[in-house]
Amino acid sequence: MIALAEVLRRHWPAYEGKFGARLLPSHRRAVAAIVCCRTPALGGQLFRCDCGQFHFAYHSCNHRA
């Protein structure tokens, strides 16, 4: 299943190029947060479970709009 962030990564530059003058700053910030959410751009943490395996989890952007 394709994620919203992937759709934005692919199509946002063209959309912004066409409608950029009408976009609200809050919308630009929301897209920037969504695109970075749960990626290396925001870092993450390494967890070790009881079974001894390690799991890495990227940080969320915490955007609530």
pLDDT tens digits, residue range 2-60? Answer: 789 999 999 999 999 999 999 999 999 999 999 999 999 999 999 998 999 999 999 99
Helix axes 25-36, 4-19, angle to 10 degrees: 150
Q: Which residue has the tokens 């009881």?
A: 50
pTM of the model: 0.75
Q: Helix, strand, or coil here: 48?
A: strand
List the domain boundaries for the chain.
Answer: 4-58
Contact 12, 35 (CB under 8 A): yes
